[in-house]
Amino acid sequence: MGLQDIDNHTDVQLRAIYDLKNIAVVGMSATEGKPANYVPKYLIKNGYNVVPVNPNYDTILGLKSYPTVSSIPFHIDIVDVFRKSDDVLPVAKDAILKKGLKVFWMQLGIINKEAKEIMEQNGVIVIFNRCMLEEHSRLF
């Protein structure tokens, strides 16, 4: 099953997303105990290439942090968003500039209809209101 077949997010379809390895984490935090810190740590421990996106830091967890998704100078498969729902639209408008993006993932509690529409109109799979750590640990 290919990524293009993901529309209703069955477990088989979600597993296909986890085959992708380059994840930009928007709103990644340097603060221990915050989901935007321990979720990326979990992803790193499970073999993913995590790229922090937070304009307030030069590095997070020893990794170079970028101010925006579009400023990352290499390929990104997934954008994992840790921002309030009301703050997601500008993230989506920036992320869509990144060619080759396959998945736009809004973490648990985050839903933005306009961002979802922009991504889907550009052929990007959208997951919302789900946690990458919880889904990965449940599926694998």
CA distances from 25 to 87, 103, 137 (A): 14, 12, 18
**Please, which residues have CB within 8 angstroms of residue 133's CB and are 6 or more apart in sequence?**
38, 39, 42, 43
**Alpha-carbon torsion 137, 5, 88, 114, what sign?**
negative
Q: Characterize the bridge pairing of strands 125-127 and 103-106.
A: parallel
Instruction: Please name the fold of domain 3-139.
Output: Rossmann fold (3.40.50)
Q: Let me know: does 40 contact 134? Beta carbons within 8 Å.
A: no
**Band of pLDDT at residue 5, cut at 50, 70 and 90:** very low
Helices within 3-139 (DSSP H only): 11-17, 35-45, 88-95, 113-121, 132-139
pTM for the model stands at: 0.94
Question: What percent of the chain is modeled with pLDDT above 90?
Answer: 91
Kindly report the length of the chain: 140
pLDDT band at residue 66 under the 50/70/90 scheme: very high
pLDDT band at 10 (very low <50, low <70, confident <90, very high): confident
pLDDT digit string, tens, across residues 68-124:
999 999 999 999 999 999 999 999 999 999 999 999 999 999 999 999 999 999 999
**For the chain, give me the number of helices (H) and strands (E)?**
5, 7
Place of tokens 């052929």: 123
21-47 mean pLDDT = 98
